[in-house]
Amino acid sequence: MKFGQPSDVHTIGNDIQELNLLNFDLYGRDFLLTTDKSLVDLEAVLRLADILRMLWRANVSTRVFQTGLAIAQFRDKSTRTRFSFASASNLLGLALQELDETKTQISHGETVRETSTMISFLSEAIGIRDDMFIGRGHTYMREVGQALDESFQAGVIGHRPAIINLQCDIDHPTQSMSDLLHLARHFGGLHNLKGKKIAMTWAYSPSYGKPLSVPQGIITLMSRFGMDVSLAYPEGYDLLDGTVAKAKQYAQETGGQFRIMNSMEEAFENADVVYPKSWAPYRVMKRRTELLEAGQGIEDLEKECLANNAKFKNWECDAQKMKLTRNGEALYMHCLPADITGVSCRQGEVSEDVFEKYRMATYMEARYKPYVIAAMMMMARFRDPVALVDHLFRNRSRRAGRFEA
């Protein structure tokens, strides 16, 4: 399948054939970090996501569950990802149920095991967002996974729901995978990403405390496809060592590049793609955890952090910097919402004119997420997802309009 071609019903059959050739191993496995998955796994998820999207466009039902729940556990505010998860669950036929924890608490061992089991009796998937505390989110998700394994093996729950990471302290796979699908379509195929330069850069923001998982997700994913990844940030805004190490390793393995620099301009130089986005320094996020547990000092930390950010107001993606990119026409990306200078804040990550030029492109970038999440769920819950999506295609049951029952 040529990702970049316009889609229509006739190509879906071919796309399913091509997906069938991939030797992926996703059944019964949670989707927590892209670094846990093979390249084939990742490509399979993207292909299935795009097939589901085309089926939707062709008004073909993608319902694979008559009943069943998808649980949403958000330990952080979210509108976009919440909607994406709700949409993904719904397009497969699952009903959304929120696990509402009124107090953001660090769960004790007992509570995690019990709560995870109590919500799983009739659930097919659990989407968790836990990104506010360095060292906690990913750990929590693994703990949930272990609790579910134990209950499943003991026969308490009849099946083992799949856990989907909706953003943790390390990675944001639903975001990075959607971004990757967007790039694949933009450049006409995953294979065409090889050698393309992406500038994953820090950018100024008047708010502090933004998670590191988006830049970490981008560098650990794009480096796996032979891209020339340039990570740029002011001194002190390092990402987690482990993610940087992985990006270096992947770049080596795939003949790509991975470079770190302290200049936004240098990263933008001849870039095919730019992704300027703010994040808090890792050390600040760690201290934030400690202060929150102590119950004091947060406001001082915030002031300190904002003051530090303010030294780098020139780290703004403006028309001048965009001129440095390849033909001055690099694809601008953002997970949204962006801090837009003069629009959503006085000084921000991107200038108004640049954002306006790429606004529709950022909406295009966002549209894949429900399908990526649905593909992750489908791959994890069905032994033969290709046969299943092929059945959906051949059955051509209408999603909207007349149908039997």
Query: Which positions from 307 through 346 interact with a copy of itself, judged by CB under 8 A?
Result: 336-337, 340, 343-344
Residue 375 CA to residue 88 CA, distance in Å, equals 8
CB of 242 to a copy of itself, least distance (A): 31
Q: Of 308, 332, 309, 307, which Cα lies nearest the Cα of 319?
A: 332
274 C-beta neighbours (distance < 10 Å), count: 30
Pick from 12, 366, 372, 380: which binds a copy of itself (CB under 8 A)?
366
CB of 253 to a copy of itself, least distance (A): 34
Binders of a copy of itself in range 107-126 (CB under 8 A): 108-111, 113-115, 117-119, 121-124
Distance of CA 185 to the CA centre of its chain: 17
Does residue number 64 form part of the binding site for a copy of itself (CB under 8 A)?
yes
Residue 240 CA to residue 391 CA, distance in Å, equals 43
Amino acid at 318: D
CB of 197 to a copy of itself, least distance (A): 26
Helical ranges in 75-227 per DSSP H: 80-92, 109-118, 137-153, 173-187, 213-222
For residue 397, what are the contacts with CB-CB under 8 A and spacing of at least 6? 60, 61, 63, 403, 404
CB of 81 to a copy of itself, least distance (A): 10
Pick from 9, 39, 40, 95: which binds a copy of itself (CB under 8 A)?
95
Pick from 35, 62, 201, 341: which binds a copy of itself (CB under 8 A)?
62
State the number of binding residues for a copy of itself (CB under 8 A). Answer: 72
Residue 279 CA to residue 277 CA, distance in Å, equals 7
Binders of a copy of itself in range 280-299 (CB under 8 A): none
Pick from 103, 158, 235, 241: which binds a copy of itself (CB under 8 A)?
158
DSSP-derived pairing of the beta strands 197-201 and 273-276 = parallel
CB of 232 to a copy of itself, least distance (A): 26
Question: Of 37 and 53, which CB lies nearer to a copy of itself in the complex structure?
Answer: 53
Pick from 34, 73, 151, 175: which binds a copy of itself (CB under 8 A)?
151
CB of 98 to a copy of itself, least distance (A): 9
Residue 186 CA to residue 227 CA, distance in Å, equals 14
